[in-house]
Chain A
Amino acid sequence: MDQAKIEKIKNLPEYQKLVKERSGLAWKLSIAMLVVYYGYIMLLAFDPAFFTTIISGEYVSIGFPVGVAIIIFAFLLTGYYVRKANSDFDELTAKIKKEVE
C-alpha cells in the first residue's frame, strides 16, 4: 500500500467512522464479557454462601441458572457483534473499497 493511498483512506470519513465505531463496540463488548466472568469468579471467591441459595424446589441452587446464563450471555454477545458488523461495518468497508479501488 503506497503512502498516497494510505493518506487517502485515512482521510475518508467512512474509514474514520468504521475504526471509531468498531473499536468502540469491540472494547465495550470485551469489557462486558470480562466484567461478567471475573465478577462471577470474585463472587465465588468472596461470597460462596450466595451459591448455596436454593431457588426452586429443594435441590436447584442459584448457581445453575447463573452459570448457564453466562454461557448464553457469551453467545449473545458474539451474535450482537456479528449482526452489527455484517450490516454497518461491512457497508462502510464496501464504501471505502469503492472509493480507493
Chain B
Amino acid sequence: MSQLMKLLASFSMLALLPVAAFAAGDIQGGAKAEEVNFPAIVMFVIFVGLTLFITYWAAQRTKSAKDFYAAGGGITGFQNGLALAGDYMSAASFLGITGMVYLKGYDGLIFAIGFLVGWPIMLFLMSERLRNLGKFTFADVAAYRFKQTPIRVLAAFGGIAVVILYLIAQMVGAGKLIELLFGLDFNYAVLMVGALIIAYVTFGGMLATTWVQIIKAVLLLSGATFIAIMVMYQMGFSFETLFKTAVDNRGGDMNILFSGGFVSDPINAISLGIALMFGTAGLPHILMRFFTVPDAKEARKSVFYATGFIGYFYILAFIIGFGAVAMVVGSEYFAGDKLVGGNNMAAIHLSHVVGGDYFLGFISAVAFATILAVVSGLTLAGASALSHDIYANVINKNATEAQETKVARIATLAIGGLAILFGIGFKDQNIAFVVALAFTIAASANFPVLIMSMFWSGMTTRGAVIGGWLGLISAVVMVVLGPVVWTQILDMGAAIVPYKFPALFTVIIAFVGIWFFSITDKSARGKEDRDGFEAQFIRSQTGIGAEGASSH
C-alpha cells in the first residue's frame, strides 16, 4: 500500500509539470554547476536579444490600460492559440512529460491526456462567454453582476495565491535547470530570470508577453518535432522497432508498454482528473488570454488551435520519451544507473544523441526561453489582479487609466521581486506541495465562482463569497493534511487526507457552499444579483455591449 501511495505521489507530482514547474528535487544532481555550454549561451543570447527588441517594439504600442492588460484586444485567434499553448507547454511540461514517459512508459501518455481534455470543455462552456463578459481579468467576469468589493477580493486572492505558488515552483525549477544547462550559479540564474521578466512585463505589457510566448511556442514545437522525427528516422519510422529497442534496453521488460496501474485507485484518479480539468479553467494567466482577442469568434478559434498544438506536442513528447529509452544509452549520459540530472533530463540528453552539441544548445536555450515566457505570463496575471481588481475596483474606484497602469507597473516590480526572493528563499526547500496547492485552489475557488456566475441565475454575492472562501480554505487545509505536506515535509506519519489532489472534495464543498448560501440568501442584494442575470446572460450569448478591440 505504501508503495502504491509513493507511486501515486510521484505520479501526481509529475502530473502538474506541464503547467507548473519542477518541484525541488525533480532535477536530481542538478544542484552542481556543470561546465559552461557555449552553443546554448549563444542561442540564448540571440533569444534574449530578440525578446528585448520585441519588448521595445511593444512598449511603443502600450499606452492605455487595455494595451497593458490585453494587448489592445488585437491578438488573432491563431496567435492566441499559440500563446495559450505556450502558457501550457512549460519547460516542465516538455521535460516532465518526456521524463515520465522515459521512466514509466505508457503511464506518461495517460497523464498527457489528462491535461488535454480540459481544453475542449473550456471551449464549449467558457471561452466565448468569458470574452463577451470580461475586460482584463477573470474577476471582471466573476464579479459581473455582484457586489464588487467582496467578489473582487476573493477572486484576486485566489488568483494571486495561484500565481505566487506557481512562481515559486517555476523560479526554483528555473534556477536548477539553468544551473545544470548553462553552468550558471543558481542565485544569478534566478536574478536574471527575474530581471528579464520584469523588463518584458513592465515595458511591454501583454503585447510583449504574448509575443515572447508565441516565439517560444514555435521554437519548442519545432525543436520537439525535430527530435521526434530524428527518433523515428533512426527507428526506420516503425513503432514496432522503437518499442522493441526500448524494451530491449530495459532488459526485456514489457511493462513500459502497458499501464503501470497508477489508476488502480479510481477515487485518486478522478480527483486528479478534476484538479487538472477544473484547475486549468481556473488559472488566471490562462483565463486572461481570452481578453486579448477582439471578439468571441477569435476566442473560440484560439482554443481550437491551442488544443491542436497541445495535443500534437503531447504526441511528440510521447515519442521523445520512448526515443530516450531506446537511444540514450551512452555511458556519458549516466551517473551510476541513473540519468545525469535525473529523469527529467531525458529529452535534453536525447537532443544531444540526435543532434550533437549545437542542437543540445538549441534545446537548452528553448527550455530557458520557455521558463521566461511562462514566468512573464504569471507575473502579468498577478500584477493585474493587484492593480485592476484590488486597486482600481476596491481601493480607488475613481482611479484614472493612467493611475491604474502605473499601479500595474509597480505591482509587476513587486511580484517580480517577490519571485526572485521566493526563488532564492525556497532553493533548498521541498516545494512539491506548492503545485498541488496552486491547482487545487484554482479548481476549488476560482473555477466554481467563475462558472456558476455565468451559468446559474440563482447565485448571489453571499453564496459566491462564502462558497468561494470555503473552497479556498478547504483546499489549503486538505493539501496540508495530505501526503506531501503532512507526511513528507512535516514528517507527521500517515496522511490524514490520503489524496495529493483533494480537488474531488474541495470542488464539491465550493459548489455546495455556493448553492446553499445562495438559495438561503433573502437579502435585497441577493434579489439584485438574481435580477441581473438576464442582462448578463444576453451579453454573454450575443456579445452585445462587449469590450471591443482598441482602434490602433
A residues near B, CB below 8 A? 1, 6, 9-10, 15, 18-19, 22, 25-27, 29-30, 33-34, 37-38, 40-42, 44-46, 48, 51-52, 56-61, 63-64, 67-68, 70-72, 74-75, 77-79, 81-82, 85-86, 90, 93, 96-97, 100-101
B275 to chain A minimum Cβ distance, whole angstroms, is 13
CA distance A30 to B281 in the complex (A): 14
Residues of B within 8 A of A101 (CB): 544
Also in contact, A64 and B117, with CB within 8 A (given A48-B264, A59-B244) = no
Q: Which of B533-552 contact A (CB under 8 A)?
A: 534-535, 538-539, 541-545
Which of B90-98, B308-316, B491-499, B520-528 is the interface stretch? B308-316
The answer to whether B311 and A74 have CB atoms under 8 Å apart is yes
CA distance A33 to B117 in the complex (A): 7
**Quick check: is B203 within 8 A (CB to CB) of the other chain?**
no
CA distance A29 to B123 in the complex (A): 10
**Quick check: is B259 within 8 A (CB to CB) of the other chain?**
yes
Residues of A within 8 A of B106 (CB): 51, 61, 63-64, 67
Q: Which of B297-354 contact A (CB under 8 A)?
A: 297, 300-301, 303-304, 307-308, 311, 314-315, 318
B residues near A, CB below 8 A? 106, 109-110, 112-114, 116-117, 119-121, 123-125, 128, 239-240, 243-244, 247, 254, 257-259, 261, 263-266, 269-270, 273, 297, 300-301, 303-304, 307-308, 311, 314-315, 318, 534-535, 538-539, 541-545
Also in contact, A78 and B538, with CB within 8 A (given A57-B240, A70-B113, A100-B544) = no
Residues of B within 8 A of A40 (CB): 113
Also in contact, A67 and B538, with CB within 8 A (given A48-B259, A78-B304, A90-B297) = no
**Contact check: which of B112, B124, B265, B544 meets A30 at CB < 8 Å?**
B124
The answer to whether B273 and A38 have CB atoms under 8 Å apart is yes
Complex: chain A residue closest to B539, CB-CB: A1
Complex: chain B residue closest to A82, CB-CB: B304
The answer to whether A81 and B300 have CB atoms under 8 Å apart is yes
Residues of B within 8 A of A57 (CB): 240
**Contact check: which of B125, B257, B311 meets A63 at CB < 8 Å?**
B257
Contacts between the two chains (Cβ within 8 Å), count:
149
CA distance A37 to B79 in the complex (A): 28
**Contact check: which of B263, B308, B535 meets A75 at CB < 8 Å?**
B308
CA distance A1 to B534 in the complex (A): 10
CA distance A41 to B124 in the complex (A): 22
A99 to chain B minimum Cβ distance, whole angstroms, is 10
Also in contact, A37 and B270, with CB within 8 A (given A51-B258, A90-B297) = no
Residues of A within 8 A of B266 (CB): 41-42, 45-46
Can you offer 25 A-B residue contacts whose CB atoms are under 8 A? A6-B535, A9-B544, A10-B534, A15-B542, A30-B120, A30-B125, A33-B120, A45-B265, A45-B266, A48-B264, A56-B240, A60-B239, A60-B240, A60-B243, A61-B258, A63-B259, A64-B109, A67-B106, A71-B315, A72-B311, A74-B311, A78-B119, A78-B308, A81-B120, A93-B542
Name A's interface SS: helix
CA distance A22 to B301 in the complex (A): 16
CA distance A52 to B128 in the complex (A): 41
Interface centre among A26, A59, A64, A77 (most CB of B within 10 A): A59
A25 to chain B minimum Cβ distance, whole angstroms, is 8
CA distance A15 to B243 in the complex (A): 54
B541 to chain A minimum Cβ distance, whole angstroms, is 6
Complex: chain B residue closest to A43, CB-CB: B263
The answer to whether B270 and A41 have CB atoms under 8 Å apart is yes
The answer to whether B543 and A93 have CB atoms under 8 Å apart is yes
Also in contact, A63 and B109, with CB within 8 A (given A18-B542, A78-B303, A100-B544) = yes
The answer to whether B301 and A82 have CB atoms under 8 Å apart is yes
The answer to whether B244 and A74 have CB atoms under 8 Å apart is no
Also in contact, A1 and B117, with CB within 8 A (given A44-B259, A51-B106, A78-B123) = no
The answer to whether B270 and A38 have CB atoms under 8 Å apart is yes
CA distance A2 to B538 in the complex (A): 12
Complex: chain A residue closest to B535, CB-CB: A1
Residues of A within 8 A of B542 (CB): 9, 15, 18, 93, 96-97
Residues of A within 8 A of B545 (CB): 1
